[in-house]
Amino acid sequence: NNKNKQDGKDNNKNKQDEKDNNKIKQKKGGDAKQNKSKNENNNKKGNNSNKKQDSKKSSPFAPLNPSVPPNQPQLTNDINYGRGEKLTVLHIGEKPSIAQAIAKGLSGSADVTQRGKTLPVHEFTHRGGSNAFPKAPNASSCRHRVTSVAGHVFSVDFPSQFQSWDSVDPAELFTAPVVKKPCKGSVVKHLQDEARGVDFIVLWMDCDREGENINFEVLDCCLHLMKHGGSNSNFDRVYRAYFSAINTSDIKKAYNALGKPDKNQALSVDARQELDLKVGVAFSRFQTRFFQGRYGDLDSAVLSYGPCQTPTLGFCVQRHVDIETFKPEPYWMLDLKVLKRGHSLHTTWGGGRSFSRSKVESLVTQCAESDSPVLRVTKVVTREKKQGRPIPLNTVALLKACSKALGIGPHQAMQTAERLYLSGYLSYPRTESSTYPKSFDIRGTLQQQSSDHRWGSYVQNLLANGHNKSRGGVDMGDHPPITPCRSSSGELSGDMARVYEFVVRHFIASVSQDAVWRSTRVDFELEPLKEKAQGKFSVSGKELVDPGFLAVLLHREYGNEGERIDGLREEEEDEEERAVPEFNEGEIIPLVQDKSRDGAGKVSVAPGAHCFASLGIKEKMTTPPSHLTESELIGLMEKHEIGTDASIATHIENIQKRNYVELGNNRRLVPAKLGLVLVQGYHQIDSDLVLPKVRSDIEGQCNKIAKGLADRDTVVKKAIEIFSDKFEFFVKSIDKMDILFGSSFAKLEDVGKPFTRCGKSRRYLQYIPGPPPRLYNKFTETVYPLPAGGIVKQWTGRKCTVPECDFELCLYSCGQPPRTFPLCPNCYNSSDWALDSSGTDDPVDKEDEHKEKQIQKMAGKHLVLECPLPDYHPLIEEMTVSPDPDSDGVLILDPHLGPKWRLVSTRNPTIVHLPKAIDKLTVMNKTDDVLGCHYMKIDFKAGESPLEGGELRHECCYPTDEIMQNVSRVYHGSDRLKASGRGRGRGGRGRGGRGGRGRGRGRR
């Protein structure tokens, strides 16, 4: 409702803006009528283009008439705003490092103060004039406050009533509302605190759709808190900076040309987020619940579906299917070899290949029986050809090049490029443009690299002789191509250094001269086969004349596999780099018959001869294609519009994390068994779920939203209708996929080993390590999820003491050093003993909360790094000997008992080591009236008792007993799964821990 109200306000604002614009135009004698007629003509053109799109029946979307107007020039504040006053401007960046760069770039000689740690705030003051703030030149002074967020402020999710995996039918999610939840409440509060009472807000988010979306997330937090209330007037004092690099010059340039945030681009992101959430969660919940409850060796905690992720997987599986179904066939070729002046040349047969051995053998026989078995040179062509310099680098080209040339995966490459951007070394790495804008300073960027020892001399020569213009490419209007922003003096290392070097070399190469090759091609013809036109052969080679850009670009081939070299025919692109000896047209070369058994065409050289040829037969087999490389997969995703330049790397990473594909040799993606079965199952039910067509259409509609040509709600509604129908059919047809799973995976009853007994059937439960870990009763077909994040062990037949439970107990160990707790599989999955319960008394709410936690356990979503049972559970209560002063938990006796007696905290990684002098320790039924914890009965070893007079037996309440407090040692460990260090003796400080307290804990 709040969102609808805000949308209403935005619409009212747009109407008010139009009225104000018209008034201003009338006052200035503007051309309102002419503008109106132009708009009408533009609308007609837009309608005509929409009509053309209507004719495309292949799209599942009905064409949409423009219902969201394109962005109109919005009114800004009066330039007299704040005349003679002291103003405050709040600058908000997307990350703290960007905020720091903005403050550095804008402060100039002003003193900058900083406060805060997580999201620092930089402040400085500029005195009056245009220096103070370009949008308020008449202010006496301007206080600039620069801070940031940490990415998205809000995340899209379902309301709490739709969170349960068990009680909510996944089909309901398609019509469920979505809400925006703060990613971190502290960020929202930070924005509100800093925005309260400011005069202007300048947004410095990344200049892409995600950045525009974050802009409006920020405004949702701050707009109403600006000075002079009323959201409409406040928005007139909101500006947006457009920049591509975070160096000082780009920041100042953006600061002096502030624009307005684009609501349409933000809405396109909202649409994509809602669609991905509803479609992905609905399918993922259903297929996870269905198959995890039937098969035990799926090797994945969640069987996820994604509108982009699944078509990405589909590309990999389709190539694998092509390989598996490929049937190799033999084929034969004429093998002509020419030996001239020590050069052995393998020629290419013009006839290609033949699948008939007898046909090729007959041609060889004909030559052997000929009266004139000679080879004639029919044509010799030598010419110089240019290899075009590379086009400027966009995101997709960078990811492909890093994978193919540097061996760095797309996800890692994108993270590395972002770190280089945030450090000021590269321009913004998310861009679709591949040509430099006219305003780009190529010479200045080259000069920054002229002192580098690796390519400095090359750059200096390039500057002296004049650099070239960039070749080809397109300008998408988002960001310029990826370029270096400053030189590196050896401070970079690892992948950052390698990616930076590649970008620099690519940029220099893109404005260098083309490489020049001397290409030679010689055509031959066998005289005996002249009439059948089967005797044509050729040999070709090339030599480098002028390396041009190749002198600086180390990798000659990478990225764009389909890119052609200028001036070369397709068959010439693979020319071998070699010298071809001199031939003359009409030259006759004698043919020496090969008498070897295998017909391999060996040449016999007679004394005094300088050129011979031999003819034989070469047999080969057709070969299947190889699995897709990451580079090839990126190309397919780009071609079919799966994902954006910002998300392609994430989708490839996800299918690897889900164990759907494995990364093989040469960075090839090989589908795993689970990925194969899922994709084949989708094809059995509905191929649209895995083919790229539907997702590509959705992406096209989101692009229309971003351009103001489609209504966000209409697009979302239509897409949801399509996927809702597909989901309904998918559920009805799930048995088709289940057949494939049944033939590929083992059912739960056939997996695992007997572990503990069920308290109801008295049958052994089978332990399935997962993921996720669980116990399974094959007689009742009941699954008992186990906590993830620790180790589960058997516990010698002990039974749960809860009435009517009677399940055999396990031991659960977690943390470093391990803390061990008793675990009842039945109670752990019961709503009566659930951890982190909200305490609600409503039985329906309590059951919903339990079912949600149960499904999360089943999906292995949350790690349990504490006692898996609540402190009020009888198993824990009967072992409790003290409250834990460092948490809300308690200290219990370690179930392992002696000889190393110790107490462990149920909610904190704390271990209390009791003295080694203890021989026996028993937790008594007696409890303390105030603290409620049990007394301990302790027997000490003879001669080692700390008691007065050397007494051997001692009964005590641990938290109030000074004797035991003084002889105990406290150790603070870690919740992490791997050890971070060991304590050093009494009161030792484990690396990563908080240190020990030594003797004594004090009283609670």
Quick one: which of 831, 395, 354 has its CA closest to 622? 354
Give dist(CA 783, CA 768) in Å, integer. Answer: 10
Selection from 890, 981, 868 nearest residue 934 by Cα? 890
User: Which parts of 707-824 fold into alpha helices (H)?
Assistant: 712-732, 734-744
Q: Directed axis angle between helix 693-706 and helix 263-292, to 10°?
A: 150
Contact partners, residue 919, CB within 8 Å, separation at least 6:
898, 939, 940, 941
Active site residues: 428
114/132 Cα distance (integer angstroms): 20
CA-nearest of 302, 267, 273 to 288 is 302
Task: Give the residue from 868, 917, 920 showing the smallest Cα distance to 893.
Answer: 920
Q: Check residue 484 and report its DSSP letter.
A: B
Calculate the alpha carbon distances from 403 to 23, 63, 406, 563, 766 in Å: 57, 38, 6, 17, 43
Closest residue by Cα to residue 848 from 283, 163, 176: 163
Half-sphere exposure in the Cβ direction for 250 (13 Å, CA): 25
For residue 215, give the nearest of 287, 269, 274 by alpha carbon.
Answer: 269
Residue type at 674? L
Strand duo 808-814 + 819-823: pairing:
antiparallel
What the block records as the tokens of 115 is 């406060």
Q: How many angstroms separate the Cα of 68 from the Cα of each of 239, 512, 514? A: 21, 45, 46
- What burial class does residue 73 get, using C-beta atoms within 10 Å of its C-beta: 0-12 exposed, 13-18 middle, 19+ buried? exposed
Rounded to the nearest 5°, which phi and psi values hold at 34? -65, -40
Amino acid (one-letter) located at 86: K
Please report, in angstroms and rounded to a whole number, the separation of the first and last CA atoms in the chain: 49
CA Rg value for the chain: 37
Give me the helices (H) in 899-955, please.
none
Rounded distance between C-alpha atoms, residue 808 and residue 617, angstroms: 75
